[in-house]
């Protein structure tokens, strides 16, 4: 039997919850509502109910919270990318701090000191250095759009924008994105307009055909600018479009293209072809330069990444005679950032192309005391590995959202290094891992960092010391 939707009126929103949704309670039922703000009085529609909780759509704001603000983005509520734009930034930081504390309290079983005040991002708009857009013939229409279309207004179905959350084939055409600085918006709009004017085929995800697939724009604090065009074939039409793009935006320092004929959008197993400029852009951090290629991982908020790494370096307190292991090193940004303080730094990473970037970044910065090893952390972080590379005095660990594998935790407990700095993008799995490390390590410091304003995501740095 299908669930019958129903409405709840005059619901008070009491807190911010997981996945950017706000929380209310009624008759013992916990209610999750996207795009609501704590302090709002709202009407909602319950579309899914399970034991103890319900998922709802926001119908009306009866009384706005004093913490509610008007989102600047015209795509707010449809894009899904900046779910907290309607909440003051001060409150966003407050809820992120609380998220870390609640995860530690409720999911962890360890003692921890009062959290240090969260480090907010100086830029809360135009802070990302990378965005990826999709060309499509499957334009997403809002209810207002459909109403206007029914009244006779024409909507061009060829679009360039973001996937609508939960829909593989629907694309929200983006007019202006508040995430990436100029000339990002102008480049996207030019590519769309040029393609329409020259009648180039936009990709149809259902028929799985069309010339233009994706557009990636990467910017750097140095002023470097990378554009990557993903197409299904390289022909004269693509050559002409790339030439026009270069002519219109001479500030582009790296223009490449990728030929993707696969049924999915993954391109990291495909070759990148340089059309103009260099095949990389350069980021700077203090006196270091980092080469960022089209496949390279680099923290998407460059300026806040620097603040994050400074916290890591301070917590690690590395001495000149100490060996440091940087687990999940990625492209070696943290490893290279702290190398001048250490005797030696060993970075471990399972993505071989990232390790190659890490080695290049060491070489171009004349750093000679780093070593980078390719391998699955859960498999290669063994007694034999440590015997070969030397016992570490300090460990820095920045795992993916899933946290650290039990094998890694076991080896850390066995090693008994004096200090561990644990960087996490998921306080829930971090709380789990800290509980497992608690028999031998105590939590000394906790520093939340906001890398992604207007989202629920929070980064967290923890200093652990051997008991």
pLDDT digits (tens, 9 = 90+) for 341-377: 999 999 999 988 889 999 999 999 999 999 999 999 9
Q: Residue 143: what pLDDT?
A: 83
**Tens digit of each residue's pLDDT (9 = 90 or more) over 220-233:** 999 999 999 999 99
Pick from 267, 250, 249: nearest CA to 258: 267
Tell me which CATH homologous superfamily contains domain 94-123+300-466.
Vaccinia Virus protein VP39 (3.40.50.150)
Is residue 189 helix, strand or coil?
A: helix
Q: How far is CA 433 from CA 316, 408, 436, in A?
A: 19, 10, 5
Residues 424, 431: contact at Cβ < 8 Å? no
Q: Residue 80: what pLDDT?
A: 82
| CATH class of the structural domain 6-68 | mainly beta
Q: Residue 1: what pLDDT?
A: 57
Residues 167, 140: contact at Cβ < 8 Å? yes
Cα–Cα–Cα angle for 167, 205, 21, rounded to 5 degrees: 15
Query: H/E element holding 335?
Result: helix 333-338
The answer to whether the 6-68 and 94-123+300-466 domains have the same CATH topology is: no
Which CATH number is 130-285's, of 2.40.50.1070, 1.10.3720.10, 3.30.565.10, 3.40.50.40? 2.40.50.1070
Query: Catalytic: 191?
Result: no
Whether the link from the prior residue into 319 is cis, omega within 30° of 0, is no
Q: pTM for the full model?
A: 0.92
Pick from 442, 327, 329: nearest CA to 394: 327
Domain-wise residue ranges, the chain: 6-68, 94-123+300-466, 130-285
Q: Residue 3: what pLDDT?
A: 80
Task: State which residues of the chain have pLDDT below 50.
Answer: none
């Amino acid at each position: 039997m299908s669930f019958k939707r129903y409405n709840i009126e005059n619901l008070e929103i009491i807190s911010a919850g997981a996945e950017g949704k706000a929380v209310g309670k009624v008759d013992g039922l916990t209610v999750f509502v996207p795009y609501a703000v704590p302090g709002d009085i709202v009407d909602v529609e319950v579309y899914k109910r399970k034991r103890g909780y319900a998922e709802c759509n926001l119908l009306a704001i009866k009384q706005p919270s004093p913490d509610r603000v008007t989102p600047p983005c015209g795509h707010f509520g449809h894009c899904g990318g900046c779910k907290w734009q309607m909440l003051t930034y001060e409150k966003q930081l407050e809820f992120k701090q609380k998220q870390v504390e609640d995860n530690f309290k409720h999911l962890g079983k360890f003692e921890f000191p009062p959290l240090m005040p969260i480090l907010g991002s100086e830029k809360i708009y135009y802070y990302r250095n990378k965005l990826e857009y999709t060309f499509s013939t499957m334009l997403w229409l809002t209810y207002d759009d459909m109403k206007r279309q029914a009244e006779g207004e024409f909507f061009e179905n060829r679009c360039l924008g973001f996937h609508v959350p939960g829909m593989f084939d629907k694309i929200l055409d983006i007019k202006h994105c508040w995430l990436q600085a100029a000339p990002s918006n102008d480049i996207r709009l030019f590519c769309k307009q040029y393609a329409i004017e020259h009648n180039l085929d936009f990709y149809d995800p259902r028929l799985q055909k069309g010339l233009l697939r994706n557009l990636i724009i990467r910017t750097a604090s140095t002023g470097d600018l990378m554009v990557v065009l993903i197409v299904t074939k390289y022909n004269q039409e693509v050559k002409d479009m790339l030439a026009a793009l270069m002519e219109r935006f001479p500030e582009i320092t790296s223009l490449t293209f990728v030929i993707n004929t696969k049924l999915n959008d993954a391109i990291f197993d495909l070759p990148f072809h340089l059309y103009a400029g260099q095949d990389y852009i350069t980021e700077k951090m203090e006196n270091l330069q980092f080469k960022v290629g089209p496949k390279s991982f680099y923290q998407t908020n460059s300026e806040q990444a620097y603040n994050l790494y400074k916290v890591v370096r301070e917590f690690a307190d590395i001495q000149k005679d100490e060996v440091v292991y940087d687990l999940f090193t990625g492209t070696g940004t943290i490893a290279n950032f702290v190398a001048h303080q250490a005797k030696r730094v060993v970075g471990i990473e399972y993505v071989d192309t990232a390790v190659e970037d890490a080695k290049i970044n060491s070489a171009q910065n004349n750093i000679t005391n780093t070593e980078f090893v390719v391998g699955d952390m859960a498999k290669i972080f063994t007694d034999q590995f440590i015997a070969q590379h030397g016992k570490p005095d300090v460990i820095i660990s920045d795992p993916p959202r899933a946290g650290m594998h039990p094998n890694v935790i076991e080896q850390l407990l066995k090693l008994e290094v004096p200090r561990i700095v644990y960087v996490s993008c998921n306080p829930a799995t971090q709380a789990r891992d800290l509980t497992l490390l608690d028999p031998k390590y105590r939590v000394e410091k906790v520093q939340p960092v906001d890398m992604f304003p207007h989202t629920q995501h929070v980064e967290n740095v923890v200093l652990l010391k051997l008991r």
